[in-house]
Every structure is written in structure tokens, then in C-alpha cells.
Amino acid sequence: MVTERGLQVLRAIVQDYVETREPVGSRSIVDRYSFGVSAATIRNDMAMLEDEELITAPHTSSGRVPTDKGYRVFVNHLAQLRPLSVAQRKAIESFLADPADLDDLMARTVRVLTQLTGQVALAQYPSFARAHLTHIELVALAPKRLLVVLVTDAGGVSQRIAPLPVDVDESDMALLRARLSSLLTGKAIGDAIDRVQALLADDARPGDAALRTLAGIIADELGEFRQEKLVMAGAATLARREHDFRGSIHPLLEAIEEQVTLLRLMSEMEADAHGLAASIGTENASFGLDEASIVASNYAAPSGTARVGVMGPTRMDYPSNLAAARAVARYLSRMLDEDEASR
């Protein structure tokens, strides 16, 4: 069983190793921290930590480095989130101010987070699966081309150009808009999809070529609303930190390219009472990402909660990265709430 002083020694080892990238020895702990005991006593504490598999020696006669298990104990019990500076908070607020739309806001969110942490930033889009369709607009571009715009109450916006099989004038377009709005406006995304598919399956109106074409396009776009989405920034940081990974960074690059793995991992991470979550090293083995850690914070959206966080090597500054994720998540929640209130 690890003593209280042993846990504080673990904290010192994690902090020093993250800061210096060098294995930590008993003498450096005595010199840097006021434990009030000899180096021999610290060595005994380190031996107990090693027995508990919280630290390990990377080389014979070297200092010690944290294991993934050690990082987990540190994050769960020993890490103290470092408050962001006034300048950092102002930077977040300024960077996220006045976005053009949700896509712009999410892109800004990951850019500012990667700037704050120097890690790969990840952000789940708010889920639109439980959203309701609030508006359908048709805009004439040419006699046989319309722009179809769909808007949800969760901030989702879709725009798609629709090539039509027949010419439509203003009166035709008004009728199409009215029929589609009557059918779909105010309906949950799932219900709207069912209604559009029923319309497409109905052969009673084979002559409504324009309506059926628009219905097919709307069905595709509503299906996109139901898909989970992830936005990322800072992939280039992995190359700069490659020496912090024991093996290859290729699995991380593949996960960034495919996104599905990261979406599953982000969704399955267990958050604490403050909405913070971390998945460390070998805890990610089933996702093929045992060389990486992800820390994240929940944020609130009109349709539920989603997450924003960072991914990097296990040797990361967990307190600072968690604090940055939490601060960005809070600003993001506030902006989405303000946008919802203004509708």
C-alpha cells in the first residue's frame, strides 16, 4: 500500500518528468521538494511506487518515469488544475467571438485549444439527432437549379444545390416550399426522415418530379444531421512531439484521418462530477491508440452534451490541458446558449 508521502513523491515524479523529459531520481526530488527526509527514504518510497507499478526504470541505474497506471493515479487523485491566465481567458473569448455559423465556431474552438495546449485538439459537434427542423428555404439559382437550406433548433444548417428535372418559376417554388414546410417543419430529425422516405415511396404522384427530387436531396441532408461529426486541429504537433512516443505515431495519424475511432473513444470516456474525462495510454489499447492520451471536458448544447479536448503523448501536462479544455468548453457552452436564446 502506498503511503501519503509516497503519493506526493509520485506527484513530484510526474511533474518533473513532464517538465524535463528526463527520468527522475531520488536526489533531484530531495533537492527540489521539501519532504524533510533523506534521499534514502525517498528511494524507499520510490521502491514501493515501483512495486505498485506506478513508476518504472527505463534504463538500468536510471531515475524513474511514470507508468500509464501512475498517470491515472495522478490524474484521479493528485492533479490540481492550473487556472488559465487572464491573457489566456481573454484570448479564448476574443477568438470565439462573433462566429459566422456553427461550423465556424467549432473550427475556431479547436484552433484556440491547440494554440493553448500545443496538442491535437478535438471537438465533437453537438448531436443533431434529437434536434427539430425549424426552417426550410428554397432559393432560385436558375430555372432548373435551387439552393435547399435546412435549419435545426440545435444550430445545424445544411445548404445543398438541387438540379431539377423540370423548370420551376416563382409560383412553383412557393408551392414546393409550402408543401415541404408543411410536411417537415417542427418535426424531429428522425420523424422528418420517415416522412420524406414515405413521400419518396408514394407512387400516387409520379408527375411531381421536382418535389421528389427535392425530397431525395432533403433525405440525404437529414441523414447527415444524424451522423456524429468531429472537428480537429493541430495534427502537425504530433510530428514535433514524435520523440515522446515509444513507438510509431502512425496509428494516431490514421485515427485522425478516419475519425470514427476518435468519435467512439471520445463518446465512451467516463467523465467525473465536473464533466472532465481522461483516457490514458494503455486504456486506449482497444482503439489502437495505446501510445496516446486524451483529456476532454463536456460542454452543453441545446440538444445535449458533447465534448472538446486534446490528444497527445502520455507524457503531457494533464492539469494544464484539462484546465484549457474546461475553459474552452465553458465558453463554447455559453455561446451556444446565447445563440439558442437569440432564436
What are the structural domain ranges in the chain? Answer: 4-78, 86-127+228-341, 133-226
Architecture of domain 4-78: Orthogonal Bundle (1.10)
| Cβ neighbours for 342, distance < 8 A, ≥ 6 positions apart | none
Count of Cβ atoms closer than 10 Å to residue 178 Cβ: 11
Tell me the three state secondary structure of residue 292.
Answer: strand
CATH architecture of 86-127+228-341: 2-Layer Sandwich (3.30)
pLDDT beneath 70: ranges in the chain: 60-61, 129, 203-207, 303, 340-343
Residue 9 is predicted with a pLDDT of: 96
**What 8-state DSSP symbol labels residue 127?**
P
* Nearest Cα to Cα of residue 117 among 18, 26, 184: 18
In angstroms, the CA 143 to CA 244 distance is 59
Exposed, middle or buried by CB within 10 Å (0-12, 13-18, 19+), for 235?
middle
pLDDT in tens, 307-343: 999 999 999 999 999 999 999 999 999 988 887 666 6
What is the CATH code of the structural domain delimited by 133-226? 3.30.390.60
Q: How many CB atoms lie within 10 A of CB 169?
A: 9
Residue 302 C-alpha cell reads as 441545446
User: Within 10 Å of residue 101's Cβ, how many Cβ atoms?
Assistant: 12
CB distance 23 to 64 below 8 Å: yes
- Residue 241, Cβ density class (10 Å: 0-12 exposed, 13-18 middle, ≥19 buried): middle
Which pLDDT score is estimated for 341? 62
Separation CA 229–CA 128 (nearest Å)? 10
- By DSSP bridging, strand 230-233 and strand 276-280 are unpaired
